[in-house]
Amino acid sequence: MLKYVVKRILMIIPVVLAVSFIVFFIMDFVPSDPAVTVLGDGATEEQLDYYRETHGLNDPLIIRYVRYMEGIVQGDLGTSYAQNRPVWNIFFEKFPNTFKLAVASVVVTVLLSIPLGILAAVKNNTWVDTVCSTFSFVGLAMPNFWLGLLLIMLFSVNLHLLPSTGAVGVKSLILPAITCGTGNMAALTRITRSSMLDVLRQDYLRTARAKGQSEGKIITRHAFKNAQIPVVTQIGIQMSTLLGGAVLTERVFAWPGVGAFLVDSIQKSDFEVVTGFVIMLAIFVSIILLLVDVVYAFLDPRIKAQYSKG
């Protein structure tokens, strides 16, 4: 198991190299000049040329890329053109807010979707199944920004119960988490329902019923336990997606996260921030997917045995 984990950690290196080069390559073709971003439109041509030369902007792409990767190895993600601050510091100012929002959103999704998926599977092809499936798709049908605005109007403007913007305290997290969480309900509910339906047809559940075990115990302890792997996979995917930044939600609630700041940096042609943020997000997403694989081993002893043999 340890050997597999180490191997997966080492696989993050080529992922980071590929992502960084693609982003670096794309940013090189964006029609914008970092020198103008830093010095302003009033700078003379001599000042612009001097800035480009001293900061290596005139060097070939491959040389600038190698120099950038050397900095990353030393823990340097570059300096923001727009803010003149280390990208590393900016990222870890924004990332905790995004991480909190992602975790809270996944919790909302799990609390709503898994019970709906289990109930829909147990009551398959009944009106309960139809109601659960329809309710789960409501979140998918409603755009995030529209749902967020409705929640603000209800809980902030009319009832004055929750703050509408900012990231101060737990209360400010509730509305953004509900907005993001309900948007992911449909996928997780569908995966849970499908996985449970496959398990409910297995012979060992009929054996458990023949032994006199209660239906609730059969569903929770036997059926859902063996249906968890696809569910965990979907949760990991949703967590990875949310770490990239729920841009619309962050915009609506003025949430100071990675996604909204990344969009602002693209608009300002702050290439150092864009490249650094994408690389760091790729690392964190790779870690999330690694944790999902490790969880597989604890859920299914057969997978753990394969890891040990591998």
Q: Which residues share a beta bridge with 86?
A: 79
Distance from chain centroid for Cα 275: 17
Q: What is the pLDDT of residue 307?
A: 59
Q: What is the pLDDT of residue 107?
A: 92
Q: What is the pLDDT of residue 142?
A: 78
10-residue stretch averages of pLDDT, the chain, 310 residues long:
74 83 80 74 81 80 85 83 85 89 90 88 85 78 82 87 82 88 83 84 75 75 78 86 78 84 82 86 85 78 62
Q: What is the pLDDT of residue 215?
A: 73
Q: What is the pLDDT of residue 204?
A: 75
Half-sphere exposure for 181 (CA within 13 Å, toward CB): 21
Cα separation of 94 and 260, whole Å?
10
Cα separation of 308 and 123, whole Å?
39
Give the DSSP letter of residue 257.
Answer: -
